[in-house]
Amino acid sequence: MARLGTIIRLAERRQAGRLQRGGHGAIVELDTVTVRFEHQTVVDAVSASVARGEWVAVIGANGAGKTTLLRAVAGLVEYQGAIRLDGRDAAPLGRRERAHAVSYVPQSPEMPADMSVFDYVLLGRTPHISYLAVESSKDVAHCRNLLDRLELRHLARRHLSTLSGGEKQRVVIGRALAQEAPILLMDEPTSALDMSHRIEALEIVDELRHDLGLTVVSVLHDLTLAGQFADRLLLLGAGSVIALGTPTEVLDEATLEKAFGSPVRIIRTDDGELVVAPRRTGTAGKNSHEGKEEAR
């Protein structure tokens, strides 16, 4: 019952967030951002903006440029065009300044096997600690609070290698949140998780987004989850923007078929959420079906 209450509360918050979107100004602005690797254009003149407190999911087929776009915002690849973070041009920002603005969760984070959960989360305080100093009691207290909030306190002394997939994901999110950056970038944060842990991880991010006023930009492969959690979707195809809008606007059968090269069915549930179901197209399935018919 309590779980249901939480879900309803979060759904209300999401709805409220969508209604408020655009009222807080853009915190991430991409102006014709282009990324090239050895004469190959991976991201091609992408322009978009993300409002403060908004969750934008970047979706698209493999090789569409989703991860590269996210890495450009994180400052990990060189780009042409302009990226503005909270109104400031990101290009001249030093690493520490950028780390104050943006935290980044990669698809496969490096998690040293014998490092403790607490020490790992503490790494997120690096931008707040002088280069040659060690963490202060304030940094330690901040991380303890985060562990409490993520229900990880009991794992604080455990080695990272002993954690389950879901626990690891929460720890990685904890490290990112320890940075206290207003923008959280996540590259497919739930790819290694089963269905219930996917929902759990995304619910945590959503709850913290509202409580801490975070802006979230994430790559998500699961289009149904993207539609459930994100305020808007940025659909990329061959490095370019195919569509940008609310889940209802972007999750359209024709648009997705064009982007993924494969037909899908969009099902609207009784409570108004969209479910994206792929359709089978392969001849293998058809041959198998025909074989069964012949056998009868």
> Residue 2 or 113: which CB sits closer to other proteins?
113
Would you say 147 and 156 are in contact if contact means Cβ atoms under 8 Å apart? yes
Q: Contact with other proteins (CB under 8 A): which of 86, 135, 180, 200?
A: 135
> Residue 4 or 113: which CB sits closer to other proteins?
113
Q: Hey, what amino acid is at 293?
A: E
142 lines the binding site for other proteins (CB under 8 A) = no
Q: For residue 279, count other CB atoms closer than 10 A to its CB.
A: 10
* Shortest Cβ 194–other proteins spacing (Å): 19
User: For 221, which DSSP code?
Assistant: S
Q: Contact with other proteins (CB under 8 A): which of 38, 114, 270, 271?
A: 114
Displacement of CA 29 from its chain's centroid (Å): 17
68 lines the binding site for other proteins (CB under 8 A) = no
Q: For residue 286, count other CB atoms closer than 10 A to its CB.
A: 11
First to last CA, the chain: 49
Give the integer Cα–Cα distance in Å for 227 and 251: 8
Query: CA–CA distance from 213 to each of 55, 181, 260 (Å)?
Result: 11, 10, 33
Q: How many CA atoms lie within 13 A of 37 on its CB side?
A: 10
Q: What angle do CA 160, 164, 165 make, to 5 degrees?
A: 100
269 lines the binding site for other proteins (CB under 8 A) = no
127 lines the binding site for other proteins (CB under 8 A) = yes
* Shortest Cβ 109–other proteins spacing (Å): 7
* Shortest Cβ 272–other proteins spacing (Å): 37
The footprint of other proteins on this chain (CB under 8 A) covers a number of residues equal to 36
> Residue 51 or 163: which CB sits closer to other proteins?
163
Q: Contact with other proteins (CB under 8 A): which of 9, 95, 138, 280?
A: 95
192 lines the binding site for other proteins (CB under 8 A) = no
* Shortest Cβ 118–other proteins spacing (Å): 10
Taking CB under 8 A as the rule, which mask of x and - marks residues 151-190 in contact with other proteins? --------xxx-----------------x-----------
Give the integer Cα–Cα distance in Å for 12 and 15: 5
Q: Hey, what amino acid is at 50?
A: V
Taking CB under 8 A as the rule, which mask of x and - marks residues 71-90 in contact with other proteins? ---xxx--------------
Give the integer Cα–Cα distance in Å for 273 and 266: 10
Q: Contact with other proteins (CB under 8 A): which of 39, 40, 92, 108?
A: 108
Give the integer Cα–Cα distance in Å for 204 and 208: 6
- Residues binding other proteins (CB under 8 A): 74-76, 95-96, 98-100, 102-104, 106, 108-116, 119, 123-124, 126-127, 129, 131-135, 159-161, 179
